[in-house]
Amino acid sequence: MKEVAEGIWRIKDVVPRPLVNVYLAGDVLIDAGAKPDRRRIFKEIEGREISMLALTHVHPDHQGCAKLVCEERGVPLACHVDDVDAMEGRRPVQEAAGGNPVNRIIHRFMEGPPHKVDRPFEQGEEIAGFEVVHAPGHARGEVIFWRPADRVAICGDVVRNITYATTRSGVREPPEIFTMDIPENRRSIRKLADLEPAITLPGHGPEIEGHQEIEELAQKLGV
């Protein structure tokens, strides 16, 4: 694991660049990768105390191992109230462009099974010492976990810091085919920029130092 902010570690990926991020904040696991990430997640958390699994949002590459982690480690699952139906199997996990061939492949090979949400949370609640900031658009229940004391934001897929084709760093909005409501997600990018985080930990790509690149993206998108 790599410590990316005080008390927060990023679980090592199977590729050289941090493509699909899973974080450990104290004893709370944040996100659960895709189904194929089972081995690396369990290897990295072996011997570590885990009290909860909290999701930034319910998409296949973030909930893929949620059921396995919760059942094998005996911990509760937490996500925003607007994503509970997706996590529990009453609504599709990936709502954007469901008929797209890429999303059909992702559904088949990356998406994990439904699991009961023990701890639904809402805007303003606290998870692992972070304030929940609802930031919908990419997914209904997308959130930013915000720690104002040192201005750390764990932002899920509100923004990404990697280009999937080249794996080069670069702060961008998430791809359209994975985003349910693009204008709403752009408003959430403005919300993230307005927090002026010192460190942003995205769901994809390395940590983002400072808020300037996020602010520039928000301005470029006209929000």
Per-residue pLDDT of the chain (223 residues), as tens digits, is: 999 999 999 999 988 889 999 999 999 999 999 999 999 999 999 999 999 999 999 999 999 999 999 999 999 999 999 999 999 999 999 999 988 999 999 999 999 999 999 999 999 999 999 999 999 999 999 999 999 999 999 999 999 999 988 999 999 999 999 999 999 999 999 999 999 999 999 999 999 999 999 999 999 999 9
Query: Helix or strand or coil: residue 86?
Result: helix
Sign of torsion over alpha carbons 175, 178, 180, 186:
negative
Tell which CATH classification among 3.40.50.620, 3.40.50.2300, 3.30.390.50, 3.60.15.10 matches the domain 2-220: 3.60.15.10
Return phi, psi of residue 29, to 5°.
-80, 130
**What are the b/e assignments for 22-61, b being 16+ CB within 10 Å?**
bbbbeebbbbbbbbebbebbeebbeeeebebbbbbbbbbb
- Rounded Cα distance between 200 and 213, Å, is 11
